[in-house]
Amino acid sequence: MTNKTFFIESYGCQMNKSRSEHIAHVMVQNGYHLIEDIKRADILLFNTCAVREHASEKAISNIQKTIKDLNEISRYPIIVIFGCLSQFLKNRLAQRIPGAQIVIGTSNIEKIPQYLEEHRTNKKKIVDFNLQPSSQVFDETGYLRSSSQIFAFLPITYGCSNFCSYCVVPYTTGPQRSKPFITILKEIEKIIQDGYKEIILLGQNVNSYGLDFGLKNGFEFLLQAIDENFRGSPIWIRFLTSHPKDMRTSIVDFIKNSSLMTHYFHLPIQSGSDDILAAMNRGYTRDHYLGLVKYIRKTLPDSGIGTDIIVGFPGETETDFLDTLRLVQEAQFEQAFTYIYSSRSGTAADQLPDHLPLAEKKKRLQVLNQTLSDIHQKKLMTWIGKKVKIMIDQIEGLSASGRMTNNQRIFLSNSNFFLGQVITVLVRKSLKGKLYGELVFP
């Protein structure tokens, strides 16, 4: 059969990138060929994200422009749109992008090869937004990963059962399903055999792994199984993302004694105000969160803590915002991703009163980002003069860089290294928000 080349583009989070790797694997297993030239591909697949309105609109605009540009040079590939935005907008997305022949949600993406054959046969547009998962467990396996990178994404859960009031993810992915232990261990074994040096365990909330199996501390059991089976392997293991209500001190204790686990915790706080946290339905208080931060700092002094923060949530007062600034000062984050609240239809927060003007949201975001930047600059200075281990994961021209286990990146002025190499460096200086070092021998 001809016309079997495909190109895939992903929007959004690491989970989406991993799902694109899975779909690429499924396509190849069905006789299709992945190519990197979008202008030559017979099929274009777009994996979409619905978390924020601005990003969603930008993705729609990009897809529309891509179709238009290709049509202008007499290229008419089959357009497949799938993922969270498809599940969220359903037929509204199909109507906004009439050039798409196949538009499906999140649950039946493995049917894409089948839908392509159906479209070739009857030439009709195909839509499928059924959210009912085909299995009560997360049984996705097989990923076509890039050989040019040293890390591998490995999803251990899919879906979310938390229903934070601002978030569409539970509505676009369905309830959390966990991947069986044995499947994860086999996948890790293959990743190591394939030569990757870092594994990033993924989930909307990795800490609640196994709850759908009836396991109270399933994530700890999984980490222990990984450690026991692969101890001594040349691999670093990270995980994203943790939820503060399910993050436990026992997870921190395990990581302290593991030779595989890195010392970075991404722990989204979202707000420093208890009133706003309650309105967000986050399930924890600022004191609980700060208690976790203090325990991590005490148990693993070299650890890095990252977070996500939303400003301008409906009803957020100046006092609420100041609470967030105070929490940021107490927590001293190594990394933070900040966002203006984005209203999403169908969520509980969309129905709340007192939505703030955009100008006020932008003002608060600017203040928050400056506060975080000041903290970051001061924390970088504390590394100067220290010897640390990094794994080289980027080589560009005559320079290279790598990350410590706490996720802090250090830049080097020469590239006489190879990807995945673990070296000891002496941190020499901090310049414009970056650390620079030089190779030393331990």
The mean predicted confidence, pLDDT, of the chain is 96
For residue 442, pLDDT over 80 is answered with no
Q: What is the CATH number of the domain that holds 219?
A: 3.30.750.210
Mean pLDDT, rounded, for 45-59: 95
User: Is residue 276 situated within a structural domain?
Assistant: no
pTM: 0.96
Contacts of 173 (CB under 8 A, 6+ apart): 84, 87, 106, 158, 159, 160, 204
H/E run at residue 229: helix 218-230
Last residue of a domain, one of 98, 128, 158: 128
Are 69 and 97 found together in one domain? Answer: yes
H/E run at residue 365: helix 358-381
Which SS3 state, helix, strand or coil, does residue 379 take? helix
DSSP code of residue 347: S
d(CA 442, CA 440): 6
Mean pLDDT, rounded, for 396-410: 95
Q: What is the CATH number of the domain that holds 422?
A: 2.40.50.140
User: Is residue 71 situated within a structural domain?
Assistant: yes
DSSP code of residue 10: E
pLDDT digit string, tens, across residues 20-45: 999 999 999 999 999 999 999 999 99
* Domain residue limits at 399: 387-440
Q: How many CA atoms lie within 13 A of 222 on its CB side?
A: 30
For residue 415, pLDDT over 80 is answered with no
Are 258 and 143 found together in one domain? Answer: yes
Between the alpha carbon of residue 436 and those of residues 138, 332, 376, the distances in Å are 42, 21, 15
pLDDT at 1: 52
User: Is residue 290 situated within a structural domain?
Assistant: no
Between the alpha carbon of residue 117 and those of residues 106, 124, 128, 270, the distances in Å are 19, 11, 15, 44
Q: What is the number of other CB atoms lying within 10 angstroms of the CB of residue 243?
A: 20
User: Is residue 374 situated within a structural domain?
Assistant: yes
Are 396 and 375 found together in one domain? Answer: no
Last residue of a domain, one of 233, 262, 291: 262
Both tokens of residue 108? 């039946």
User: Is residue 313 situated within a structural domain?
Assistant: yes
Are 148 and 183 found together in one domain? Answer: yes
For residue 170, pLDDT over 60 is answered with yes
328: nearest Cα among 368, 283, 363? 368
Residue 327: band (very low, low, confident or very high) from pLDDT cuts 50, 70, 90: very high
H/E run at residue 425: strand 422-431
pLDDT at 420: 96
Are 122 and 140 found together in one domain? Answer: no
Are 308 and 399 found together in one domain? Answer: no
**Inter-helix orientation angle 181-193/218-230, to 10°:** 40
Both tokens of residue 395? 């080589």
Are 247 and 153 found together in one domain? Answer: yes
pLDDT at 328: 98
pLDDT digit string, tens, across residues 229-250: 999 999 999 999 999 999 999 9
Are 140 and 258 found together in one domain? Answer: yes
Let me know how long the chain is: 442
Are 238 and 252 found together in one domain? Answer: yes
Are 322 and 417 found together in one domain? Answer: no
d(CA 3, CA 173): 31
Which SS3 state, helix, strand or coil, does residue 65 take? helix
Residue 56: band (very low, low, confident or very high) from pLDDT cuts 50, 70, 90: very high
Residue-by-residue DSSP string for 204-251: TTGGGTTGGGT-TTHHHHHHHHHHHHHTT-S-EEEEE---TTT--HHH
Residue 414: band (very low, low, confident or very high) from pLDDT cuts 50, 70, 90: confident
Both tokens of residue 366? 């600017």
| Residues β-bridged to residue 422 | 391
pLDDT at 2: 67
For residue 133, pLDDT over 90 is answered with no
Q: What is the CATH number of the domain that holds 31?
A: 3.40.50.12160
Residue identified by tokens 């009560």 is 136
Backbone angles phi, psi at 62, to 5 degrees: -65, -40
Are 57 and 108 found together in one domain? Answer: yes
pLDDT at 3: 75
Q: What is the CATH number of the domain that holds 338?
A: 3.30.750.200
Alpha helices in 285-353 (DSSP H): 286-299, 318-331
Contact present, 233 and 261 (Cβ < 8 Å)? no
Alpha helices in 4-160 (DSSP H): 14-29, 53-72, 84-89, 91-96, 112-122
User: Is residue 270 situated within a structural domain?
Assistant: no
Last residue of a domain, one of 112, 128, 144: 128
DSSP code of residue 261: B
Between the alpha carbon of residue 328 and those of residues 287, 317, 435, the distances in Å are 13, 17, 22
Domain count, the chain: 4
User: Is residue 12 situated within a structural domain?
Assistant: yes
Are 314 and 372 found together in one domain? Answer: yes
DSSP code of residue 291: H
Both tokens of residue 408? 């802090």
